[in-house]
Structure 1
Amino acid sequence: MASTEDKAASKENTSSWKDSIYNPRTGELLGRTASSWALILLFYLVFYCFLAGMFALTMWVMLLTLDDYVPRYRDRIPNPGLVIRPDSLDISFNKSDPLKYAQYVKHLESFLKSYDDIHQEKNENCVPGSHYLQDDDEEMTKKVCRFKRSSLSRCSGLSDTNFGYHEGKPCILLKMNRIIGLKPSGDPYINCTIKKENPIQMHYFPYEGRVDKMYFPYYGKKAHENYVQPLVAVKLMLTKEDYNKELTVECRVEGSNLRNNDERDKFLGRVTFRIKVVE
């Protein structure tokens, strides 16, 4: 049987454990009195309110330095990249099977919706050959130069709704990325080459793959809300000897001060893609 001393020690340990949570003799909860808890909670309340106020003040001052139309700090490169549509760097299809190229046709048709004449008629009929510079106004809204999809001729999807894919002569659309304030010099145009012994004929739309300077500069998403990038369409005139082969095509922006030979960035002023047509 347990001794009287053991029972007393056990009772004392139990009492000590309970007192660490709440001590009825001193009125302490977790080792602090009510007034002590009130003071420490008040301290943290004031401390965190001060931090929240400092954060709000910092954000307010930072927002005062921002411009809704033009970003103050631009970490993007000063030269645009070049991208293609359909949005794939590996284009492969069977020209005899509509299901195999339907995804490319649907993508091009969807992409060109904003270039429909019914939308572009609302835009400005700008003067070709020079930058379309616009002064700041109160609303900061900029006008947009008209680019009709009909200017892409046989690659517009208007006369040929399959964009040449059904005949094994596909159309590829190219555009430059938007960069605020970009004003390319010279007479920029897009030129494509295929790494192949025998050259392949290509048709460019608009004529000679020109990217008219009247579509520059771009003033930003908010100021230039309805802006659409100028396009260049390349129709690859493939023949039977080109079918069932994976061809590598490289397109570059030429004729201007835009960079297209940076080995660290394969998409800076150029783009390389592969295409394979199965007969």
Structure 2
Amino acid sequence: MSANKNGDGGWKTFIWNSEKKEFLGRTGASWLKIITFYVIFYGCLAGIFIGTIQALLLTISNHKPTYQDRVAPPGLSHNPRSEKAEFTFSMSDENSYKAYVDNIDTFLVPYSSEKQDNPQKFEDCGAVPKSYTERGDLEHDVGVRKACRFDRSILKDCSGSSDKTYGFDVGKPCLIVKLNRIVNFRPRAPASNSSLPAAIHTSYQGNLIPIHCSAKRDEEADKLGPVDYFGMGSGFPLQYYPYYGKLLQPQYLQPLVAIKFQNITKDFEMRIECKVFGENIDYSEKDRSQGRFDIKMLIKS
């Protein structure tokens, strides 16, 4: 019993020693010194941290990444999206392609004319491919820049105005394709026809990044059928570039190309590759979306 009392007394004495005027083993003066030390110590650490962050922020642009030397050429992406880029549907079953149709509908909403009627944000940049639309340097004090209008009606049969199912109900599906955004990137058109597939030599026009789709396997080429391209030419016109970033061009819409497969062989898994062609657009085996994409399409009769 006395041991418990002694133990209790030792614990209480450690918290407050009335004889030595100590709290937790330290006098008031000792506590004042150690608290002052740690306040100064951690204050200096916080100051160093804040100072380095501020110094870093002074070197970073609000409009453009400081280093873009490791940014790959733009990826090529498509809508609708599907798991593993595989499209399987039946013309007679609306539910089998409804998700694809809904995906395109949602994607094209910003491209409706009523969404681009503000003259303070949008301007017409011509109906034929032209050279880049320069809107000043990124760091210039011009502020928010206008963007070129791109009305979905340009996509014709794949615009959704006359065909609400984008061709899926008749086995002639559309894909809506875009080049992914890179701040201040200027895609360069092919220097000559020699770098283009023979199929688009006659249709290619300047100031355009052309796109072409073909069978992934040469022996399946006859099963793909004709492919139509809708947009401003059969590619991406240069006047929509460069892109100035979300801060300066929050309303920016990149140009689109609609691809319509007119007669893919039914009940056959078709492998298709689509590629864009430009002087500064490369391809990589490690990144299958860099400058191109592959899809599988199975249309059930």
TM-score (norm 2): 0.81
Q: What is the alpha-carbon distance in structure 2 between the residues aligned to residue 8 and residue 110 of structure 1? A: 81
Unaligned runs of 5+ in 2: 190-207
Q: What is the alpha-carbon distance in structure 1 between the residues aligned to residue 80 and residue 28 of structure 2? A: 70
| 8 A Cα contact 2:113 2:152, kept in partner | yes
Tell whether 2:154 aligns with 1:151: yes
1:80 matched residue in structure 2: 74
Secondary structure of 1:55 counterpart: helix
Per the TM alignment, residue 12 of structure 1 is displaced from its structure 2 partner at its CA by: 5.2
Alignment of 1:164-175 (within 5 A): 164-175=167-178
Per the TM alignment, residue 234 of structure 1 is displaced from its structure 2 partner at its CA by: 0.6
1:258 matched residue in structure 2: 280
1:101 matched residue in structure 2: 97
Deviates more, 1:245-254 or 1:65-74: 65-74
The code of the aligned residue for 1:147 comes to F
Aligned positions, number? 270
Q: What is the alpha-carbon distance in structure 2 between the residues aligned to residue 100 and residue 35 of structure 1? A: 79
Unaligned runs of 5+ in 1: 1-6
1:278 matched residue in structure 2: 300
| 8 A Cα contact 1:93 1:100, kept in partner | yes
Q: What is the alpha-carbon distance in structure 2 between the residues aligned to residue 9 and residue 210 of structure 1? A: 91
The code of the aligned residue for 2:133 comes to Y
Task: Determine what percentage of the aligned residue pairs are the same residue.
Answer: 36
| 8 A Cα contact 1:252 1:260, kept in partner | no
Q: What is the alpha-carbon distance in structure 1 between the residues aligned to residue 293 and residue 77 of structure 2? A: 6
Secondary structure of 1:272 counterpart: strand
Q: What is the alpha-carbon distance in structure 2 between the residues aligned to residue 134 and residue 179 of structure 1? A: 16
Per the TM alignment, residue 185 of structure 1 is displaced from its structure 2 partner at its CA by: 1.8
Secondary structure of 2:123 counterpart: coil
Deviates more, 1:155-164 or 1:258-267: 258-267
Q: What is the alpha-carbon distance in structure 2 between the residues aligned to residue 99 and residue 43 of structure 1? A: 71
Per the TM alignment, residue 117 of structure 1 is displaced from its structure 2 partner at its CA by: 2.0
| 8 A Cα contact 1:80 1:177, kept in partner | yes
| 8 A Cα contact 1:258 1:269, kept in partner | no
1:215 matched residue in structure 2: 240
2:125 matched residue in structure 1: 126
| 8 A Cα contact 1:80 1:258, kept in partner | no
2:182 matched residue in structure 1: 179
2:107 matched residue in structure 1: 111
Secondary structure of 1:48 counterpart: helix
2:266 matched residue in structure 1: 243
| 8 A Cα contact 2:187 2:281, kept in partner | no
Note the aligned Cα RMSD (angstroms). Answer: 2.3
2:204 matched residue in structure 1: none
CA deviations on 1:63-91 (whole Å, 9 max, x unpaired) are: 22332222323365141011110122122
Q: 1:13 to 1:206 in 2, by over 3 A?
A: closer
Q: What is the alpha-carbon distance in structure 1 between the residues aligned to residue 185 and residue 92 of structure 2? A: 43
Q: 1:76 to 1:224 in 2, by over 3 A?
A: farther
| 8 A Cα contact 1:105 1:163, kept in partner | yes
Q: 1:155 to 1:9 in 2, by over 3 A?
A: closer
Larger Rg: 1
Q: 1:197 to 1:125 in 2, by over 3 A?
A: closer
Per the TM alignment, residue 152 of structure 1 is displaced from its structure 2 partner at its CA by: 0.5
CA deviations on 1:168-214 (whole Å, 9 max, x unpaired) are: 11100111111112112224111111232424211111265221111
Q: 1:267 to 1:58 in 2, by over 3 A?
A: same
Q: What is the alpha-carbon distance in structure 2 between the residues aligned to residue 181 and residue 79 of structure 1? A: 12
Secondary structure of 1:161 counterpart: coil
The code of the aligned residue for 1:135 comes to G
Q: 1:133 to 1:139 in 2, by over 3 A?
A: closer
Q: 1:165 to 1:52 in 2, by over 3 A?
A: same
